[in-house]
Structure 1
Amino acid sequence: MPRVLIMASPGLVSELSRTILWRDDVDRVFAAEADRSLERIHAVQADMVIVGDEDTPETMDLLRQIRGDGRTRGVSIGVVRRAVTLEEEEQLRRAGANVVFGGEVVPYLWDAWIEELLHVPRRRDARVPVSIAVWSHTAPGSEPARGMTYNISVKGMLLETAEPLDIGAKLDLSFTLPGASASVRAVGQVVREEPSLDSGPPRLGVEFLILRDGAREKIRDFVDAGGKP
């Protein structure tokens, strides 16, 4: 049963009760807005965090702490605001939010996103070299950029690269999983940016849009073998 930590005002909690977060198969834990901290997330061991936000800088600081901590890096994060501009949404996603909800709670629009975040597939930590071609500015025949994964799942990867990439950028990706002979090819999209480690390049959350030639099965087998000798 997924555990969701909801850090929101009583009014927002009441509105969220209309969504699938209130299904019987979801374990809900609540935190007062004054108790919005990384320590609280550690204590709850949440799979997903909902942050009610009206102070963007404070929320961005919390998101960066979550993504910068090895114990919480894989937590799904949804940010809810009464109103949000495109610039604010991009800032929050760069800081680590998986999704930013703005305006009135609309269950039939929000539930699909929440469902996806509740069931994040298994991922495997792995340092895998990646060849990257950016759709918007990689000329035919030019040398592709290079990157390195931190982890990978059938949904996407956490990628480190010195190539400057914007949120929303679409990428042609090619990489060879450890122990495999054939490369995996995919089309991905940058969906978030996480803080860099040790002054290195930023880490980018990349969602797979297209997996070619049996790539999904290859990645699934690789992830499933992660705990095996």
Structure 2
Amino acid sequence: MTAARRSLPAALPAALLDALEATGPRPALVWYGEEGRTELSGHVLASWVIKSVNHLADEVALAAGDGLLLDLPAHWKRLVLALAGWSLGLEVHVAPGRDDAAAAPAAAPPSGGTVATDAPEGQAALDADEVLALEAVALSMRFPGPLPPLTRDWAQEVRASGDALGVPLGPWSGPAPDEGPASRAVLVASDGAAGGAVAAALLAVLAGGGLVVGPAARVDPAQAASEGVAAP
């Protein structure tokens, strides 16, 4: 194992953002959800991650080692939050039962901390110190329902965060990307937020300037062919 490979986890947050920015207007992530096909260019995905990093650090006051629970279904917004959390060194967990594509049942996350959720009156939110409410819909500009007191409307707040990094990154707390040559395009079963093989493959492709398409269950063979990925 080379020194460069050993240092990769520490350098990964900045390297990943650099790779996304270098991708520019080319698509980096295509997500097929209930609202249809959503395409994010490398620049746009990097912008979402940077804004989320700034929001989590500046507004929510999270720092390396703090917990972030994602009580959300698989979605590109959940991936954005996971990437931002890992880039800040947070302990990121997906709530049990929220990721059907996880390789193994996730360990029960600790209570308290910060939760990002589409159920701001649910148990995960009630147990949290900070609650970020969001709906996993592409064009949702704000949470669609009433919010409990002190609950943050993530979609509104994150858009007001800076487009340039305002806080230091790292240490990277997420999974390590797959080693070896990365595919230029990959069809993934989920968004990778739960870690495992999905995250390793996804991170390798994004860090290599490639294209991630998912989730596989919503992509038919014709759509896979049009995206340049192997059919599910």
Tell me which interval the TM-score lies in, with the shorter structure as reference length: under 0.3
- TM-score, with normalisation over the residues of structure 1? 0.25
Higher strand content, 1 or 2: 1
**Which of 1 and 2 has greater Rg?**
1
